[in-house]
Amino acid sequence: MAAEETPHAGIRTHRPLPSVDIPVLRGDRQASRTRQMITTAAVVAALGSGAAAALVLPGLLGGHGEVRRPGEPAVPVALGAPHHSDDAGSAPLLVLVAQRPMIAAPPTLDGGLRPLDDVTPTAPGASTRRTIPFGHAGGFQPALIAAGSTREESQEVIDALTRVLDFRRCRPEDQLTYERDGAGKLMRFEYRADRTHVYEAVRGSAGTLVGRQVEVPIQRTRVTKGGYVGGSLGDALDHNGLGRSLVGVFVDTFSSVVNFGTQTRSGDAFRVIVDEERIDGEFLRYGQVYALEYTGARSGAHQAFFYTPHDAEGDFFDETGRSMHGGWLRTPVAYDHLSSPFDPHRMHPVLHRVMPHNGLDFAASSGTPVWAAAEGTIIWAGEKGANGNLIGIRHADGFESYYAHLSRIERGIHVGVEVRQRQVIGAVGTTGRSTGPHLHFGLKRRGAFVDPARHLNGPGRMMAAAALPAFRRSARELGAELGRIPLAPAPASANAPTPAGGDGFGDEEEVDVPTPPRRH
């Protein structure tokens, strides 16, 4: 693909990994507090160690605010597998204080009072503590009243939290905690959306409730892993105690050089250096990915290094300093695996005739957010036959992108609306002709369907010359570190990738949108 075909030169921001929520275990708390203190000490040491910290910091400080909230589908991760079995050389580098961890007390649905324990900090003067789910009340105040607040008390809580909590985003499974003194007076109210989004209103010395977001310390540990691929990259990552969510990072990073739909084979190998983020010792999600390697007979050997040049967004670069990305999101969804590649000659499994598959199918849970692959203007937003709920976006340079089988279309996404890259436009579903939840992602160039994996992924730009020497130093170090990672054998039962979420009927995928309205 020629350089001028690059759709546009939008800045690509590093995508935070989808979080994987696992309940906090109470027994680990005390031990992890101690670890936390040790970790904090390690931070100071790490910060003093120059190059590594300089590389790490920008990534950590950049845009890691996305947290999957309860109720949204989580990407499956290997539970119980050791996450630290072979990372002896990877000391915790940094701790970034986000919010304080809170324990979800068992819901006391009967309204009974629960005695205070030493697990969660409690407001001075409070003697009882009670936690109940937000539930299905029609709003924040009704929920508080249903939880036992008087109208006056609920108003007091609202006044205290109105600037820190977005009441419109409350969900039934969110947790409300009341801490009261002996006379029943509310001393502290806590609103817990998930493990990293906790808010409180505490009665201050002035007698009024003061609201704030609670800070939960997140520990970051750098881990290095590598292994051989058996059935699928996802299985291999799983087998090595890594989450399948990292599949998306590999595909996202290497899709300009490796076609993960056709070129991956058993015996391929991967290596990765990545931060694990934990709260009180419990795995929360993957954080910064520092370096990746994928080697295969068909794909060749490739390494990519995350780097944040001065005055630029962090991104993955190859060893020469060329960006791995061409200005588009190559994966408009955090998906589990690529279930069906673009294939103009696909033989229909039942009809035994060639029926092209005019896009990429990304298998993902229903409800997974779908992002605009690049900025553009909505040209279709609604049902369209076999496509189910479909969104079309017109982009620069004659490109149009299509997102089919959506379970829903985001509010405000209408024809004529302009969207930004990575703006959530809808959610994965299985509407229309579809065999399971997946995103069908189609791309047109000047009216004809083209392979998104090829056309979106032209070679990126070279890093500014001034940044190259420092980048190449760090890439050399990371490359050497990658090379030292031992490769674990492939999973014993190397099953073929799970068939999930496809459309089966390629010809029905002919997304053919009527003449789009003029941009206005």
Q: Between residues 340 and 457, which has the closer beta carbon with respect to Zn ion?
A: 340
The strand ranges marked E within 341-398 are 360-363, 369-371, 376-383, 389-394
Q: Between residues 188 and 440, which has the closer beta carbon with respect to Zn ion?
A: 440
- The answer to whether the CB of 445 falls within 8 A of the CB of 401 is no
> What would the x/- binding string for Zn ion be over residues 417 to 436, using CB under 5 A?
--------------------
- Report, in Å, the least distance between residue 352 CB and Zn ion: 19
Percent helix / strand / coil, the chain, rounded to 5: 20, 30, 50
Q: Between residues 222 and 440, which has the closer beta carbon with respect to Zn ion?
A: 440
Chain residue whose CB lies nearest Zn ion: 440
Q: Between residues 423 and 435, which has the closer beta carbon with respect to Zn ion?
A: 435
Q: Which stretch binds Zn ion (CB under 5 A): 70-78, 240-248, 440-448, 492-500?
A: 440-448
List of residues 6+ apart from 73 with CB closer than 8 A: 364, 365, 366, 367, 368
SS3 assignment, position 285: strand
Terminal Cα distance for the chain, rounded? 31
Q: Which two tokens stand for residue 425?
A: 């436009």
CA distances from 35 to 223, 361, 401, 469, 500 (A): 17, 43, 47, 36, 41
- Report, in Å, the least distance between residue 246 CB and Zn ion: 24
- Report, in Å, the least distance between residue 339 CB and Zn ion: 8
Q: Which two tokens stand for residue 390?
A: 């479909």
Rule CB under 5 A: choose which of 180, 192, 440, 444 binds Zn ion. Answer: 440
- Report, in Å, the least distance between residue 504 CB and Zn ion: 9
Going 278 to 284 to 285 to 287, the CA torsion angle's sign is negative
Least Cα distance to 264 among 319, 341, 170, 155 occurs for 341
Burial state string for 292-312 with b = 16 or more CB within 10 A and e = fewer than 16: bbbbbeebeebbbbbbbbeee
In whole angstroms, give the CA distance from residue 261 to residue 255. 10
Footprint on residues 336-365 left by Zn ion (CB under 5 A): 361
β-pairing verdict for 418-419 and 399-406: unpaired
Q: Whats the size of the chain, residue-wise? A: 520
- Report, in Å, the least distance between residue 252 CB and Zn ion: 19
Q: Between residues 268 and 400, which has the closer beta carbon with respect to Zn ion?
A: 400
Task: Work out the number of other CB atoms within 10 angstroms of the CB of residue 508.
Answer: 17
Task: Work out the number of other CB atoms within 10 angstroms of the CB of residue 437.
Answer: 23
- Report, in Å, the least distance between residue 362 CB and Zn ion: 9
# chain residues binding Zn ion, by CB under 5 A:
3
Amino acid at 256: S
Q: Which stretch binds Zn ion (CB under 5 A): 66-74, 128-136, 305-313, 503-511?
A: 503-511
Q: Between residues 282 and 507, which has the closer beta carbon with respect to Zn ion?
A: 507
List of residues 6+ apart from 30 with CB closer than 8 A: none
Q: Between residues 225 and 346, which has the closer beta carbon with respect to Zn ion?
A: 346
Q: Which two tokens stand for residue 61?
A: 């400080």
Q: Between residues 440 and 472, which has the closer beta carbon with respect to Zn ion?
A: 440
- Report, in Å, the least distance between residue 421 CB and Zn ion: 22
- Report, in Å, the least distance between residue 503 CB and Zn ion: 4
- Report, in Å, the least distance between residue 417 CB and Zn ion: 25
Q: Between residues 276 and 503, which has the closer beta carbon with respect to Zn ion?
A: 503
Q: Between residues 181 and 510, which has the closer beta carbon with respect to Zn ion?
A: 510
CA distances from 291 to 25, 42, 475 (A): 31, 22, 8
Sheet order of strands, 369-371 included: 369-371, 424-427, 408-409
- Report, in Å, the least distance between residue 6 CB and Zn ion: 25
- The answer to whether the CB of 394 falls within 8 A of the CB of 400 is yes
Q: Between residues 440 and 444, which has the closer beta carbon with respect to Zn ion?
A: 440
Is residue 503 at the binding interface for Zn ion, with CB under 5 A as the rule? yes
- Report, in Å, the least distance between residue 161 CB and Zn ion: 44
Q: Between residues 275 and 503, which has the closer beta carbon with respect to Zn ion?
A: 503
Q: Which stretch binds Zn ion (CB under 5 A): 183-191, 292-300, 304-312, 502-510?
A: 502-510
Q: What are phi and psi of 61, to 5 degrees?
A: -85, -10
β-pairing verdict for 337-340 and 399-406: unpaired
- Report, in Å, the least distance between residue 340 CB and Zn ion: 6
Q: Which residues here bind Zn ion, judged by CB under 5 A?
A: 361, 440, 503
